[in-house]
Amino acid sequence: MGRLNVDLCGLPLDNPIIPASGTFGYGYEFAELYDINVLGTFSFKGTTKDPRFGNPTPRIAECTAGMINAVGLQNPGVEKVISEELPKLSTCFNKKVMANVSGFSIDDYAYTCEKLDACDQVGWLEVNVSCPNVHGGGMSFGTSPEAAAEVTAAVKKVTTKPIIIKLSPNVTDIVSIAKACEAAGADGISLINTLLGMRIDLRTKKPIIANKMGGFSGSAIFPVAVRMVYQVAHAVNIPVVGMGGVTTAEDVIEMMIAGATAVEIGAANLIDPYICRDIINELPRVMDKYGISDLKSIIGGVQ
């Protein structure tokens, strides 16, 4: 498996495949289907300081080549994640896991990151800055370089493990935001989070999702994700984790050539729960097809 090895922020991965947050639960659910230790790692469900019930239903809308969700970060809160979810995970996953963190204030982010940083099972902290800033007019932390940098600096002060900032594509200049996070101390960048989308029921003439709008994901967004990964990877000097519409081993290769060190797979897990395992198994064949000796050699290799 040496051909598939990569290094993410100083920590080794057996392969670059990472199920994305919100699509893989806390891992043990998928462990009932296959040995999840075949994964590079996975990013567990978005965790906040306090428990969240999430948005009202319906929360999901289907659409061509994708889906829209507005789950609303439903989770039991960081204390229960540490006391209940991580012990369950330890029975079926023997690698470091990526903790995905969300917050609605700088203090929220810092508190949750500090708690998870102290957990031996956690290898990386993936900080989602797509959340609304409740003290800043409700705009997402990730929509301005200054706000994203403020979150980055705050969590770096209270943590020792690699901080990967997860960026929203719903901005006009994602490069400036990524560079601001790097300057504030980020160890890596992950992108893209979901695009903002909406569906309307023709019979009722009302939005299908109770929240009206939600995050659009799935294979339809792959070209947008590749473009943004390319832009950011060539503008920063820290690793990039690419995601957005990845469904095949070929997509993984393309994302890595664009500049991704590792690749997260999201919505596809909800369609085929075995897809990450199958892509890992398929990667050597696709590498042979394109004359790739090892994955590290193609990162950022676009001409």
Catalytic annotation, residues: 131
Helix (H/G/I), strand (E/B), else coil: 85:
helix
Q: How many CB atoms lie within 10 A of CB 208?
A: 18
Measured between alpha carbons, how far is 138 from 159 in angstroms, rounded to an integer?
Answer: 26
CA distances from 298 to 28, 109, 265, 294 (A): 32, 34, 19, 8
Confirm if 158 and 114 have CB atoms less than 8 A apart.
yes
Confirm if 17 and 37 have CB atoms less than 8 A apart.
no
Count Cβ atoms within 10 A of the Cβ of residue 165 and give its class: 0-12 exposed, 13-18 middle, 19 or more buried. Answer: buried
Question: What's phi and psi for 266, nearest 5 deg?
Answer: -110, -90
Confirm if 284 and 278 have CB atoms less than 8 A apart.
no
* Sign of the dihedral through C-alpha 11, 81, 197, 171: negative
Measured between alpha carbons, how far is 293 from 139 in angstroms, rounded to an integer?
Answer: 45
CA distances from 282 to 6, 7, 9, 251 (A): 17, 20, 25, 12
Measured between alpha carbons, how far is 98 from 162 in angstroms, rounded to an integer?
Answer: 10
Measured between alpha carbons, how far is 16 from 297 in angstroms, rounded to an integer?
Answer: 13
